Amino acid sequence: MADIKKVLIANRGEIACRVMKTCHKLGIATVAVYSDADGAALHVEMADESCFLGAASPRESYLSIPKIIFAAQQTGAQAIHPGYGFLSENAEFAEAVAKAGLIFIGPPAAAIRAMGGKSESKALMEKAKVPLVQGYHGDKQEEKFLLAEAEKIGFPVLIKASAGGGGKGMRVVEDAKDFSEALTGAQREAKSSFNNEKVLIEKYLVNPRHVEIQVFADQHGNAVYLFERDCSIQRRHQKVLEEAPAPGLSQATREKMGAAAVAAAKAINYVGAGTVEFLLDAKENFYFMEMNTRLQVEHPVTEMITGLDLVEWQIRVAQGERLPLTQKDLKINGHAFEVRLYAEDPAKDFLPGAGQIQFLRFPMESAEGENLVRVDTGVREAPYGNGDVISIHYDPMIAKIITWGKDRAAALQNMQEALDETYIAGPKSNINFLRTLVRNPAFKSGKVNTHFIADHHHALLPERVVPAQETLVLSVLGLLTQRGEQVSADPWSSLSAWRIGGNDTDKFKFKDETGEYALAVSYPNLTITLPNGKAVKAHYTPSSFDMGFEAQVDGHKYNAVVCQNGTRLTVMYAGHHEELTYLDPLHAGEGADEVAGKLTAPMPGKVVAVRVTLGAKVKKGQPLVIVEAMKMEHTITAPADGIVEAINANVGDQVNEKHELIALK
């Protein structure tokens, strides 16, 4: 039995940090690898040693097999943990690791290969008598033939890229007349994303649930299942919230699904942690979708309900030990949820985002053994404002927040509280969406399926409403706090009697999509007059963390944080996250429109068009440069009439956030 003493983690972000935690617990030394974008990243700081790989682009760094193996050899690591994503399901990598005399903490290359293609894995599963969704997954790819197969199955059907992942190359076809166009689209996307046009056709199940089984196998032929996770809450066919166990699943079905998943693993001589994904219909019929031959993002919910450390199991299995428990020793204890906090914009169809983290606070994690709240993250807000960046090069996930409770209601209650204690400013995030989701009555009742978000769109993504009165008042107090800190030597002293420039009154103006809001402030007794004419008394003191303050407004108490980035304010308090534009009189003309018209890049990205030449006369609002970031184009327009004095952008340039693209006179 090999004894692993040093592990290289061939990954970044939260999963790299998560794997290191277990290694350190087991007394195993860790080696981090990092790209140009990650020199100061948390996973590098956490590791005992680190190796630089190359440029930020994954191809130059986290996807480079030779560089990673070289790093392991240089540092004397005996094993490599691939995490998820990147090289985790790459059979060539698993082989290269073994060839270099190192231990791959994952399944054998042959098992990865067997499950690599959706079509091929289905053929294998058919043989192992694992139930499949009705469909065609053979080699014939002519349109006429595939259409005939679709008609045999009956519409609606789903066309899927065999090499697919991340929901790419997938098309639902409702009617035969749309088949040809959908097929061409799926093939085109499959070709560009996976360099493989092969597709399969499946019956498109109406409102199924996504229920997956965690399996584990050792090198001695033992395999067990660690129960299920329900991952039905999805947007763009991708998971955003997971829970274990699956709400309402009968014990009989759980056992049948578990047995099918173990059969699937045994059919390919699986070793290590794997997940068998199924679709489940309303009658609890289940159908194999695919097997993921790695640790999943959502593995913490399984850890919460079993009390096990799956990374520890992975390491034990990799060094040749037997599975620590047998099937009959495994029990479900309570219920767990995981939400994925993403830099994305739910209002824009969950478009991924990026940018620097300005403010970040997570709920307090429970003490070891208590496990009510857990936060897995790879980023932090560095002190003094130079926070980590959600990079356009990698996954936009900021953190996973996981909660446990003795039953579903208790776990959900803990999640509601945990999300209320989560603060994020900087990139746009899905925090408000997650908060609404975990309070949604239909979700609370456990009636989940893969169309849940689409079906409850209006409840989950309400139209922007006018800002709450307290949001406006707290915005004013937030701005006063920031000014007050300059005049108050004692941050704990009350600032309610402070006067600005000796004036008795002051005006503050804010703006959002719903309109403009003006508030008047009178001193010294700090009375704030709201846009509707109502006057409220306020009192505030800066709190222990920077940018935060405690306020009393009209007798109500608030703990609030207001982050200012240019004219953009993020106002956070008791489960609220709102954004406003501050129309600052000292920077007249720098309103919301002008923010969009700034001559600097809004986020790191690539210049895709330069619309002006040196010396050109431009009019206010005229497009100057287009920057593409995170699959979205941002147009930089002229904030005023002027003459182009300098151009610091060429088509194809990679630019950083705040890079000055154009100078206008």
Contact between 80 and 102 under an 8 Å Cβ cutoff? The reply is yes
Reference 84, options 32, 138, 37, 19; nearest CA is 19
Residue nearest to ligand ADP according to CB distances in the complex: 450
In the list 34, 86, 204, 582, the residue contacting ligand ADP (rule: CB under 6 A) is 204
Q: Which is nearer to ligand ADP, 186 or 480 (CB)?
A: 186
Based on CB atoms, which residue is closest to ligand ADP, 232 or 314? 232
For ligand ADP, the closer CB: 234 or 371: 234
Q: Are 77 and 104 in contact (CB under 8 A)?
A: no
Tokens of 352: 């991924």
Least Cβ distance, residue 428 to ligand ADP (angstroms): 24
CB of 183 to ligand ADP, least distance (A): 16
From residue 517, alpha-carbon distances to 449, 467, 532, 558, 588 in Å are: 41, 9, 9, 21, 16
Q: How far is the CB of 288 from ligand ADP (least distance, A)?
A: 10
> Minimum distance between the CB of residue 133 and ligand ADP, rounded to whole angstroms?
5
Task: Name the segment binding ligand ADP (CB under 6 A); options: 163-171, 216-224, 310-318, 492-500.
Answer: 163-171
Stretch 6-45 residues interacting with ligand ADP (CB under 6 A) = none
Name the CA dihedral angle for 473, 474, 476, 481, rounded to a multiple of 10 degrees: 150
Structure tokens that stand for 166 in this block:
């991340």
Calpha distance 576→253 (Å, rounded):
40
> Does residue 185 bind ligand ADP (CB under 6 A)?
no
* Contact positions with ligand ADP (CB under 6 A) in 440-459: 450
Encoding tokens for residue 484?
């007050």
Cβ at position 197, least distance to ligand ADP in Å: 15
Position 158 contacts ligand ADP (CB under 6 A): yes
Euclidean distance between CA atoms 485 and 489, whole angstroms: 7
Q: Tell me, what DSSP letter sits at residue 464? A: P
Stretch that binds ligand ADP, among 81-89, 158-166, 467-475, 592-600 (CB under 6 A): 158-166
In the list 38, 290, 395, 594, the residue contacting ligand ADP (rule: CB under 6 A) is 290
Is the peptide bond preceding residue 156 cis, with omega within 30 degrees of 0?
yes
**Integer Rg of the chain from CA:** 27
CA distance 425 to 360: 7
Give the interface segment with ligand ADP, choosing from 22-30, 157-165, 400-408, 632-640 (CB under 6 A). 157-165
Angstrom distance (rounded) from CA 120 to CA 277: 15
The secondary structure of 212-276 as a DSSP string is EEEEEE-TTS-EEEEEEEEEEEEETTEEEEEEES-TT--HHHHHHHHHHHHHHHHHTT--EEEEE
Judged by CB under 6 A, which stretch of 165-173, 309-317, 389-397, 591-599 contacts ligand ADP? 165-173
User: Does 167 help bind ligand ADP (rule: CB under 6 A)?
Assistant: yes
Q: How far is the CB of 301 from ligand ADP (least distance, A)?
A: 16
Contact code string over 229-268 relative to ligand ADP, x by CB under 6 A: -----x--x-------------------------------
Comparison of 203 and 400: residue with beta carbon closer to ligand ADP: 203
**Number of Cβ atoms within 10 Å of the Cβ of 367:** 8
228 binds ligand ADP (CB under 6 A): no
379 part of the interface to ligand ADP, by CB under 6 A: no
Residues in 124-143 that interact with ligand ADP by CB under 6 A:
133
Close Cβ partners of 630 (under 8 Å, ≥ 6 residues apart): 351, 352, 353, 354, 392, 396, 603, 605
Does 164 engage in binding with ligand ADP (CB under 6 A)? yes
The encoded tokens of residue 353 equal: 């985002």
Based on the residue annotation, tell me whether 294 is a catalytic residue of this protein.
yes
Catalytic residue among 18, 235, 294, 408: 294
Describe the crossing of helices 310-318 and 299-306 by its angle, rounded to 10 degrees: 100
Sign of the Cα torsion 199, 202, 207, 211 reads negative
Nearer Cβ to ligand ADP (212/218) = 212
* 208 counts as binding ligand ADP under rule CB under 6 A: yes
481 sits in which H/E element: helix 469-487
370 torsion bin: left (phi>0), alpha (psi -120 to 50), beta (else): alpha
Among 111, 182, 200, 205, binds ligand ADP (CB under 6 A): 205
| Site for ligand ADP contains 515 (CB under 6 A) | no
Q: Report if residue 202 touches ligand ADP, rule: CB under 6 A.
A: yes
In the complex, minimum distance from the CB of residue 279 to ligand ADP, in angstroms, rounded to a whole number: 6
Nearest one of 602, 531, 540 to 568, comparing CA atoms: 602
**54, 138, 165, 247: which one contacts ligand ADP (CB under 6 A)?**
165
Q: How far is the CB of 135 from ligand ADP (least distance, A)?
A: 7
Size of site (CB under 6 A) for ligand ADP: 20
Which residues make up the interface to ligand ADP (CB under 6 A)? 133, 158, 160, 164-167, 202-205, 208, 210, 234, 237, 277, 279, 289-290, 450
What residues are annotated to the active site?
294
